[in-house]
Amino acid sequence: MPTNQDQKIFAIFMEEAEERLETLQTGLTELPAIMADADREGVTAIYRAAHSIKGAAAMLMDKMPSLTSINKVSKRLEDCFKMVKDTPLKIDATTQTLYTKGFEVLKNLIDRAASPAGLSEEMGEKILQASLPLYDKLENNLKGLMSGKASPATAPAAPATGTPGVANAVNQVMTVLKPMLQGFKQAESPESRKQLAGLCARLTKIGVGIEPWQTLVKTAHGAIANPKNSFKVLANPIINELKQGAELLQAGKANTIAPSAALSTLGGAKATAKPASGEITIPADPKEVVKVLLKTFNKQQLQAIAQLLIKHVKS
């Protein structure tokens, strides 16, 4: 049974871990520019963020074994930043996606540790083992890029025929996402929410007439405008999905752009969604509800649903 002192130390660890996660998330939104910059300050900052989480978890592992998985995952992420800490490198979209997924594993563990249910040692180990191939792939991709021999998995795919890409879409979208990310860190108020919604609305001027992209932007805008959605819940899905959508838009793959089920829920899509395939029936028995959710949604969507449920149970 943890002592009061242990609980206080854990609370400090969690507070610092959240700050380090913010540093990592901010860096990941600017990763291509940071990686290519001769000034290695940006890469060093995100490397140190992963290093700090690793070190802090290591100091508490003896009394709190559940933090072992956080220590090991942050070590793998730290290693992936250490490889390129002193070497400017032009990364591709696949490598950036792997970095983002690596970050999401760490964030998942820390979010679970902070939740009322906590993070069990067994669950932490399960998540850790499942993530190891991801970090192996990221390290191999980085080695290939550093040697000038990108692996086939990282080779850029040809744009889909018949779907012209939007030139410079990623840069255009990133100029909006950067202030949006900072906006999500502000104290919540009607004015700050209005500012975020205004920034999101600017994205409709990109990819005009391309319906999948416009639908994604409008869904994100609806999620921001809904005062029931906290900034903390909104930040990850909106920033990540708009960024990934911009990459597809630029690559000429706009027809594959679609908001996730979690973002659609945040955006209030239930009221406007078409019936049939877009809806599911929720049974009254809680155990049956879990079965339906597991069959219907992927891991990332389930995590977002869990966060929303915890938020509403607490309110």
Q: Is the pLDDT of residue 126 over 70?
A: yes
State how far the Cα of 34 lies from the Cα of 46, in Å rounded to an integer: 10
Q: Which of 200, 172, 188 is nearest to 228 (CA)?
A: 188
Give the pLDDT confidence of 161-219 residue by residue, as tens digits: 344 568 888 999 999 999 999 999 999 999 999 999 999 999 999 988 888 899 999 99
pLDDT at 279: 56
pTM of the model: 0.51
Per cent of the chain over pLDDT 90 is 41
Tell me the average pLDDT across 286-308.
72
Q: Which tens digit of pLDDT belongs to each residue from 13-56?
A: 999 999 999 999 888 888 888 888 888 888 999 999 999 999 99
Please give the backbone phi and psi of residue 286, each rounded to the nearest 5 degrees, phi first: -55, -40
Q: What are phi and psi of 222, to 5 degrees?
A: -65, -40
SS3 (DSSP) at 71:
helix
Average pLDDT, integer, range 131-156: 76
Residue 281: the pLDDT is 67
Chain segment 225-238, per-residue pLDDT in tens: 999 999 988 998 89
Q: What is the pLDDT of residue 311?
A: 66
- The Cα 81–Cα 12 span in angstroms is 25
Q: Residues 247-274: what's their mean pLDDT?
A: 76
Start-to-end CA distance of the chain, whole Å, equals 28
